Amino acid sequence: MKNILFPTDYSPASENAFIYALNIAKKLKAKITTLHVSNMPVVEIEGKAFPKGIERIQESLEMEEFEDYKDGLVHLKSIAKKNNLEAVPLQHVMENGKVIQTILKVANDEGVDLIIMGTKGAGWIKEVFFGSNTSEVLENATCPVLAIPQKAKFDGAIDEIAVTTNFTDEDKKVIHEALKFASWFDATVQVVHVDLNRVHQYTNKIIDLKKEFEAYINRMDFIVLDSDHFTESLAAHLENNSYDMVAMTTHKRNWIQELFNYSRAKSMTYQYNIPVLAMPVETL
């Protein structure tokens, strides 16, 4: 991964994600392309010249937007300097258009290997998977997307990555990708399965999985959670362990929606502040 795209609206959530982006880029010796998408309205009057008044308004709006963009760049550079990461290569792009389509287009045009985006608030899981710019990017990107919740804190290292499994072939591919990502950061991978039947019928599958990943066994762990309640058990496990991110495929959107169903989340005390590394199933 040598080319990281960082879409930003200069919000606190984006600022927090930028710290992750800088640290990851430094570790990978990668370049970051920052992208600010402007929703500047374009005034068009078919078959007629612009009235001077409308033209001046358009120019004024464009100038104001550009000044805000320049101020945002200065702030990003100050964040990099404050975190001793000003040596990370940065290039800056400003595009006018629809946010989601523009992010995806720039990612494809620039040959991006990873998109890193911020998400808002403690309820970010609802935002990510129930309709937001981030959710649309996760669903449609052709490269991995790392979604960073606003309350996630980069502690200086990526040490542990969780991957859930039901022992499918796609799950195994995600494990391989998570191991690749982990190797860049000298991290361990925790493979987690929730056994709802409590009959240990997956014991043999765990054994087979360990054999398949025998070459990586020194930096892997396999965890089976015995529980009658999939959602509560897995959510509690994720929250009570010091995972730096959770890896998943984007096609599991319905499963994730169920896991972090808003009505259940409201009745629980857990706060979901773990970054999600989403991998398009088509690329695995």
Contact 184, 157 (CB under 8 A): no
Ranking 31-35, 171-175, 259-263 by mean pLDDT, the lowest is: 259-263
The pLDDT value given to residue 165: 85
Max mean pLDDT among 51-55, 178-182, 199-203 falls in: 178-182
- The arithmetic mean of pLDDT across residues 119-147, rounded, is 67
pLDDT at 222 over 50: yes
Contact 201, 170 (CB under 8 A): no
The pLDDT value given to residue 266: 30
**Separation of alpha carbons 223 and 172, rounded Å:** 15
User: What mean pLDDT, rounded, does the chain reach?
Assistant: 79
CB atoms within 10 A of CB 213: 18
The pLDDT value given to residue 24: 96
pLDDT in tens, 232-269: 787 788 878 889 998 887 754 454 554 554 333 333 32
Ranking 95-104, 169-178, 195-204 by mean pLDDT, the lowest is: 195-204
- The arithmetic mean of pLDDT across residues 85-107, rounded, is 91
DSSP class per residue in 59-117: HHHHHHHHHHHHHHHHHHHHHHHHTT-TTS-EEEEEEES-HHHHHHHHHHHTT-SEEEE
**Separation of alpha carbons 179 and 191, rounded Å:** 11
According to DSSP, the β-strands at 188-195 and 90-96 are unpaired
pLDDT at 59 over 80: no
- The arithmetic mean of pLDDT across residues 49-71, rounded, is 61
Ranking 20-29, 74-83, 105-114, 222-231 by mean pLDDT, the lowest is: 222-231
pLDDT at 162 over 50: yes
Contact 138, 107 (CB under 8 A): no
The pLDDT value given to residue 270: 34
- The arithmetic mean of pLDDT across residues 19-24, rounded, is 96
The pLDDT value given to residue 91: 92
Q: How far is CA 135 from CA 30, 45, 80, 154, 215, in A?
A: 25, 35, 27, 22, 35
- The arithmetic mean of pLDDT across residues 85-94, rounded, is 93
- The arithmetic mean of pLDDT across residues 64-70, rounded, is 73
